[in-house]
């Protein structure tokens, strides 16, 4: 709801169920989280994670200052330590993961949006806080080139 006359929108909710998740070597982080969200009917949530990935793809910024952006990619094919924060909302009726991580190995550190392949190395621990009592989802915006969160009526 837009109470300040600007473009910012928000909705209020409450913390619902809380999940602690372990994702093991070889499992795909994003696939596992989407699968859990479908199985448990999680439609709105925020999560934090820590652990390591063996392989991953990060969008580390736009190539140019333009909207819609053309993404710059970093691809990992060796283990990197990660911490991250993300959310889960429905897009076209299915759970969509939006995850930003910091990934490092030695002196090489990147921060970006994890997309595509995300293979766990050893273990990833994820702590999901479901948000109840709000109507929020993602809807693709052609002009922006992505699917921002949109809000409906409060429950």
- Domain positions in the chain are 16-151
Tell me the pTM.
0.90
Rounded Cα distance between 68 and 106, Å, is 33
- CATH class of the 16-151 domain in this structure: alpha beta
Place of tokens 């910012």: 8
**Which residue matches tokens 């999560």?**
47
Tens digits of residue pLDDT in 64-75: 999 888 999 999
Helices (H), 1-135: 29-39
Q: Is residue 127 reached through a cis peptide bond, with omega within 30 degrees of 0 on the bond before it?
A: no
Strand partners, 12: none
Query: Helices marked H in 23-81 — which ranges?
Result: 29-39
The burial class, CB within 10 Å (0-12 / 13-18 / 19+), for 91 is middle
Q: Which two tokens stand for residue 39?
A: 């199985």
pLDDT tens sequence across 22-77 = 999 999 999 999 999 999 999 999 999 999 999 999 999 999 999 888 999 999 99
């Amino acid at each position: 709801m837009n109470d300040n006359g600007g473009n910012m929108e928000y909705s209020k909710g409450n913390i619902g169920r809380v999940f602690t998740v372990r994702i093991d070597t070889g499992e795909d982080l994003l696939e596992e989280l989407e699968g859990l969200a479908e199985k448990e009917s999680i439609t709105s949530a925020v999560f934090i994670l820590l652990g390591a990935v063996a392989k991953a793809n990060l969008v580390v910024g736009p190539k140019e200052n333009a909207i819609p952006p053309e993404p710059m990619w970093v691809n990992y094919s060796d283990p990197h330590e990660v911490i991250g924060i993300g959310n889960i909302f429905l897009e076209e009726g299915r759970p969509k993961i939006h995850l930003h991580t910091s990934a490092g190995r030695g002196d090489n550190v990147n921060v970006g949006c994890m997309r595509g392949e995300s293979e766990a190395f050893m273990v990833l621990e994820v702590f999901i806080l479901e948000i109840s009592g709000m109507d929020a989802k993602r809807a693709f915006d052609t002009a922006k080139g992505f699917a921002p969160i949109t809000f409906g009526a409060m429950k």
